[in-house]
Amino acid sequence: MARQPATPETRSVRLLKVGEQVRHVISELLTRQMVHDEVLTAHSVSVTEVRMSPDLRHATVFVKPLLGADEEPVLKALRTHTAFFQKEVAGKLRLKYAAKIRFLADESFDVASKIDALLADPKVKRDLED
């Protein structure tokens, strides 16, 4: 039987806590500009979510540059410095294994704006009022 994808409701509390700790460490590194990269110092980057694998060996980090500008160069810069982030996270959290970090763009804001645009459509408003 195929395993269902993990949703926030089905993930364990431990995975959520560790993911939140990883998010805080990476956010702090970016805020304090401890990564020496011109692209990252020129952009404000939000770490919106971190999803940990059940064995805590992999972390998927969802990021969004401020206003969604220059998303590809920011992701490329983050991926270039993945080893630095992994080392810092492992040093600060003292987990049994250093999690392999993978950076992805957060698409949830784009999906939310599409839904808002659909709901603002006059045809949909007319149907909702009935």
Give the residue with greater pLDDT, 20 vs 114.
20
117 located within any domain: yes
Domain holding 50, by residue range, is 13-129
- Mean pLDDT, residues 108-129 taken together: 73
Q: Residue 70 phi/psi, 5° resolution?
A: 55, 50
**What is residue 11's predicted lDDT score, i.e. its pLDDT?**
65
Q: What is the 3-state secondary structure (H, E, C) of 68-110?
A: HCCHHHHHHHHHHCHHHHHHHHHHHHCCCCCCEEEEEECCHHH
pLDDT band per the 50, 70, 90 thresholds, residue 40: confident
Per the domain annotation, does 4 fall within a domain? no
Residue 16 belongs to what H/E stretch? helix 13-31
123 inside domain: yes
CB-based contact 44:65 (threshold 8 Å): yes
Comparing 40 with 4, which gets the higher pLDDT? 40
pTM: 0.76
Average pLDDT of the residues of the chain: 84
Helix (H) / strand (E) element for 63: namely: strand 58-65
Cβ density class 6-15: b for 16+ within 10 Å, e for less: eeeeeeeeeb
Domains: count for the chain: 1
Predicted confidence (pLDDT) at residue 85 exceeds the cutoff of 90: yes
Is 115 among the domain residues?
A: yes
Which pLDDT value is given to residue 102?
A: 95
Q: Kindly report the CATH number assigned to the domain that includes residue 113.
A: 3.30.300.20
Predicted pLDDT of residue 41: 86
* Mean pLDDT on 79-106: 90
User: 67 by DSSP, 3-state: which?
Assistant: helix
Buried b (16+ CB within 10 A) or exposed e, 71-80: eeebbebbee
In a domain, 61, yes or no: yes
Residue 15: is its pLDDT beyond 80? yes
Residue 66 DSSP one-character state? G
Predicted pLDDT at 1: 46
- The backbone torsions φ and ψ at residue 38, rounded to the nearest 5 degrees and listed phi first, read -65, -40
Residue 8 included in any domain:
no
